[in-house]
Chains A and B, each alone.
Chain A
Amino acid sequence: MTDSQHQTQKLPLLRVEDLTVRLRGEAGIVHAVSDVSFQLQRGQTLGIVGESGSGKSVMARALMGLLPRRATQQLDGRVSLAVDGRVLELLKLSEREFRTLRGPRLAMVFQDPMTALNPVLTLGVQIAEPLQLHLGLNKAQAMARALELLAQVGIPDPEGRLRQYPHQLSGGMRQRVVIAIALACDPRVLLADEPTTALDVTVQRQVLDLLLALQRERQMGMVLITHDLGVVANRADHIAVMYAGRIVEYAPTSRLFSAMRHPYTEALFKSVPRLSDPSHTRLHAIPGRPPQLIDPAPGCAFAPRCPNVQQRCRRETPALTQAGDEHLHACFYPIGSREVGA
């Protein structure tokens, strides 16, 4: 996105520029996130889609200031959050300053509700904790608020639940509690990292609809991370497709589906199960495996799996370029271009 466009748009709630994260893994330095840029407006949902291992969770953790301290080899770029009429540069904050934002400004919903709640604390205590911490409520006030939150996320018999422990709830109910915790201090930005991946299919839709309803009602900015293009299809305003730690295509949702340009986006699209398909239709799994993020080879990371691949792709890394209004892609031979198949 060019600078002139930034100026004509209103100040984004969250603006990420050239975010780069490298982690020390057992096998070497992992290039988990490379040059990721996007912005999020108040009340909007950005879908981030990519296969497992493409760096989505690391990106989300970087935005939350929750990267593993000792394993972080490099953390670069700019993350600007506009709150209270100020713009905060998140990556420049001290741990103490960042902590005061987690909860009331930024919140996160985790992938696996079975492991995200503390097994030895009651649900009431876990929901009340951020309220006491950030809003200065006393125990009784916080519990009363926790009760309201449980009701808002659609948990039946909330009074009884306050004193229960996580293991007494089903996965779907636990995820609702995780959502209640995230929403407790009324955050401006909600990062939902595969919030329904671990849930039963029948529960997935309910939880997604709940998230979306709460997002609209509170006018939060939401980043909805998923490996399933179907999840964000009619829920996100914009979609960013991530591959090997980079955004490879970005567009408004309807435009992405009507005019996708990146071969990887198309491959993802074909791998989405559709209800209209006969039940035994085989999915088009994307052939090959996602690349190692350790010592990435030069060139386009998708080259080994790409149907459009040409010589140039193996030498140069395609940059994210404009392909129309608000539409960007990183590909030398995108879908619909004349050179393909030449």
Chain B
Amino acid sequence: MHLVLRKLPWLIGTLLAVSFFTFLLVSLLPGDPAVMILGAGGVSPEAVAALRAELGLDRPLLVRYFDWLGSALTGDFGRSPMTGQSVMDAILSRLPVTIQLGVMAIIIALLLAVPLAMLSAYHAGSRLDRAISGLGFALMSIPSFMMAIFLILILAVSMNLFPATGWVPFSVSPAANLRSAALPALSLAMIELALYMRLLRTDLISTLQQDYITLARAKGVPNWQIMLRHALRPSSFSLMTVVGLQLGGVISGAIIIEEIFALPGVGRLLYQSILQRDLLMVQGIVLFIATAYVVVNFLVDLSYSLLDPRVRHAD
């Protein structure tokens, strides 16, 4: 509890800074939103001025920021001038898809990375270790859209195991939902997998040299139990940090993946809003993603205390 209170001011400060920069970013983009909305050619200056007043663009920057922040705090990011849809509603309706994709990708990546990293670290320097590391490098150097296309070609087109595109909501059919999410999640997972594997392998190797591992061996603990019980947890701090960071990060990965697989997620919404220059929508999504990122990080920070008793007792 102490820990939460100590970190809270940092959280609030970060969120304020994030929101301000998001706001600034979009406000400082070249081009007048009013002109963009009305269309460039042949619009009277009066019409532009009227729309600017309506949108509140004629007021000072800081005033507009606090105004925007105030509404944002109540969950009101405004309405898209293009579609008339509430930005918040648009995000919320697409969020489950993206979250499901991200969580599935991370779970798949962890399920594969943890055993592979343990195998690699236990046999560090062996041919098996080099093969696993090589696989990791290969995966990391393949961009996710290429991976997506490979997977579609192999698993969807050739083997017909999964649908190539499209999305079935969980509420319609859980099984079909998982099938429709499988390929995009796998595409996202492959890159995460390589990263997780490398991190965990490095940390495991240094943990395995610790005296307490030798002591565990001196107790007669079998090797697999040493890996699982004695080495894994003290080696997973950097992995946890990165998994936390990647919870935010997969959203950016999802932008392309959702587009390729035609999934109705936040990533695709952002992509399309950028194409349509729907600034209010872009602003809302960026703030939303940034906030999610910061909050997740905060939670990851707190979760250290579960992994590491030294942090728990640091007060």
Q: Which A residues are closer than 8 A to B by beta carbons? A: 61, 64, 66, 70, 99-104, 107-108, 110, 112, 115-121, 129-130, 133-134, 165, 167-168, 178, 181-182, 184
Contact = CB atoms under 8 A, between A and B. Distances in A.
Listed residue (A117, A118, A165) with the most chain B CB atoms within 10 angstroms of its CB: A118
Contact of A64 (B218, B229, B307): B218
Interface string B244-263: 00000000000000000000
B174 to A, nearest CB: 37
A120 B308 contact: yes
B220 interface: yes
Nearest to B237: A120
Contacts of B309: 119-120, 165, 167
Contact of A103 (B214, B220, B310): B220
Given A70-B125, A110-B211, A119 B310 contact: yes
B313 interface: yes
Specify the main secondary structure of chain B where it touches its partner.
helix
A120 B216 CA distance: 13
B220 A117 contact: no
Given A115-B212, A168-B313, A120 B233 contact: yes
Nearest to B308: A120
A95 B210 CA distance: 20
Contact of A107 (B125, B210, B218, B229): B218
Contacts of B70: none
Contact of B212 (A61, A116, A130): A116
A165 B314 CA distance: 12
Contact of B219 (A112, A120, A165, A181): A181
List the 4 closest A-B pairs by CB distance, nearest first: A102-B220, A103-B220, A165-B309, A115-B211
Interface residues of B, number: 22
B56 interface: no
A116 B211 contact: yes
Contact of B220 (A110, A116, A133): A133
A213 to B, nearest CB: 22
B238 to A, nearest CB: 15
A112 B221 contact: no
B134 interface: no
A214 B211 CA distance: 24
B75 interface: no
B120 to A, nearest CB: 14
A129 B215 CA distance: 12
Contacts of A102: 217-220
A118 B230 contact: yes
A45 B169 CA distance: 73
A102 B212 CA distance: 15
B214 A110 contact: yes
A120 B215 contact: no
Listed residue (B215, B233, B234) with the most chain A CB atoms within 10 angstroms of its CB: B215
B212 A118 contact: yes
B39 interface: no
Contacts of A116: 211-212, 214-215
B214 A66 contact: yes
B242 to A, nearest CB: 19
A191 to B, nearest CB: 9
